[in-house]
Structures are given as structure tokens and as C-alpha cells.
Structure 1
């Protein structure tokens, strides 16, 4: 069942099994606020087991581009298109959020973004990345990194 993320009243719905549920909910709400303010899009997520195709798509890109396999179970996922860009998001129990930005037009931007919720350690599989810090009223300190996708998925 889909869950429309409310950034005014942050909820841990769907994320309760994470040891960082509150911080991860804040991170998810931060993403919802961004899409509502920039694109007037309502950010909705589904339990990962209902969005296997999205989780598998993100996992395939990580594996084929950088030989990365995320060790934490996926809790929620979503995929949508706004303003000519397809976005895929997966939220993991460890507190990690991964998004794939894929511009539909040829030659557009294509990248994978990683965000770590407040309080979580950098997972071993992402140790090679440098993470920048960002402050958020909803999520506290978010650490993020990314890489450009070279292949076609």
C-alpha cells in the first residue's frame, strides 16, 4: 500500500524496523518537501516487497557501475517521473537512502545519489565515497555523495 509522505508531520510509517527510524523518517520527509516545493509532486513510497522492480533496478545499477552490493534490507521504495526526469528511491533499514536520477532525454543527467541519515555510520560498501554534509530542519545532518552513471539501464 502506498504511503504519501507528510513533511509537516514526520512519521516513521514503514520505517519502524530501522534502528534509525526517526532520522530516516526525517530524511524521507526532507525528500518529500523538496519534490512538493520544486515540482508540486506528492512523494509516495511503497513497502520494498511491493516495489521489487525498483529495488532490483537500483541494485543492478550499483552492481554493474561500481560493483556495490548494499548489505542492509530495503524497507521502502518509489519510482516516479517529474519534469522529464525519472527518479527511483530506495530507503534501507541501515538509514541509507539511494536515489537514481535519470533524465529521459538523450544526453541528459544520469546519476546515483547516496544519503546517510543522522547518526548512522558510513556502510563498508560505500567507504570509498566522500560525503558532504547538509543541515535539514526535518532530518538533522544529512551526509550525501553521488556518482555519474555511464551505462544504459
Structure 2
């Protein structure tokens, strides 16, 4: 069942099993606000169990590009296409959000972004491999983020 993320009234719907559910809900709402303000797009998520192909897509890119596997359970996913860019998000139980930005044109930007919810530790699989910058958000508190450029075709 899909859920339209409301960034004005932040809800933990779908994220209740996370130990940082409120912070993860704020992070998800922060993403929803970004897409509404920048692209006038409504950010809708679905349970990861209903869209295993999206989780597999993100997993495949992480494995192929960085030999990386996320240990946490995926809770929610979404995929959207705006302005010639496909965005795929997976929100994990640990409080981690992974997004794949993939420009459909040959010469466009392609990257994987990691965002850590306020209060969560850096996952062991990311700790020694990425440096995280801090960003303040009214919805999510302090977000720590990192990324890498995707080199392959997916």
C-alpha cells in the first residue's frame, strides 16, 4: 500500500520498527519537501516488500560499484522520474536512506547518496569507506550524508 509523505505533519507510518523512527520519518519528509519544492512532485513510498525489484536495483548498483551490501532491513522504497532523472530511494530500518540519482541521458549525472538519520551510528559497512558531511534540517534534525559517482550503466 503506497503512502504519500506529508512534510507538514511528519508521520512514522511504515517506519515504526526503526529504532530511530521519528528521525527517519523526518529524513523521509525532508526528501518529500525537496521534491515538492524543486519539481512540484508528490513523494510517495511503498513497503519494500511490495517492490523487491527496487531494492534489488539499488543492491545491484552498490555491489557492482563498491562491493557493498547494506546489512539493515529495507522498510520503504520509491522510484520517480523528473526532468530526465530517475531517482530510486530505499529507507532502511537502521535509519539509513540510500538514493540512486540516474540521469537517463548518456552524459548526465549518476550517483548514489547515503543519508543517516539523526541519532543513528554510521553503519559498519560504510564507516571506513565514506566521510559524512552534516546538514541541518528543520524536519530531520542533523542529517549526515555522503555519496559516490556511478560509473556503470544500469
State the TM bucket, normalised to the shorter chain.
over 0.9
2:153 corresponds to:
152
1:124 corresponds to:
124
Quote how far apart the aligned CAs of 1:6 are: 0.1
Residues 1:10 and 2:20 are matched in the alignment: no
Moved segments of 4+, more than 4 Å: none
With the length of structure 1 as denominator, give the TM-score of the two structures. 0.99
Instruction: Please give the secondary structure, in 2, of the residue aligned with 1:135.
Output: strand
Cα distance between partner residues in 1 of 2:42 and 2:136: 22
Quote how far apart the aligned CAs of 1:107 are: 1.0
Quote how far apart the aligned CAs of 1:23 are: 0.2
Q: What are the residue-to-residue correspondences of 1:1-150 with 2, within 5 Å? A: 1-127=1-127, 128-150=129-151
Cα distance between partner residues in 2 of 1:3 and 1:29: 12
Quote how far apart the aligned CAs of 1:51 are: 1.0
Cα distance between partner residues in 1 of 2:69 and 2:106: 28
Cα distance between partner residues in 1 of 2:64 and 2:94: 22
Give ranges in structure 1 of 5+ residues lacking alignment.
none
Quote how far apart the aligned CAs of 1:43 are: 0.2
Cα distance between partner residues in 2 of 1:88 and 1:22: 22
Cα distance between partner residues in 2 of 1:146 and 1:38: 20
**In the comparison of the two structures, how many residue pairs are matched?**
153
- RMSD (Å), alpha carbons: 0.4
Cα distance between partner residues in 2 of 1:61 and 1:14: 25
Give ranges in structure 2 of 5+ residues lacking alignment.
none
Instruction: Please give the secondary structure, in 2, of the residue aligned with 1:38.
Output: helix
With the length of structure 2 as denominator, give the TM-score of the two structures. 0.99
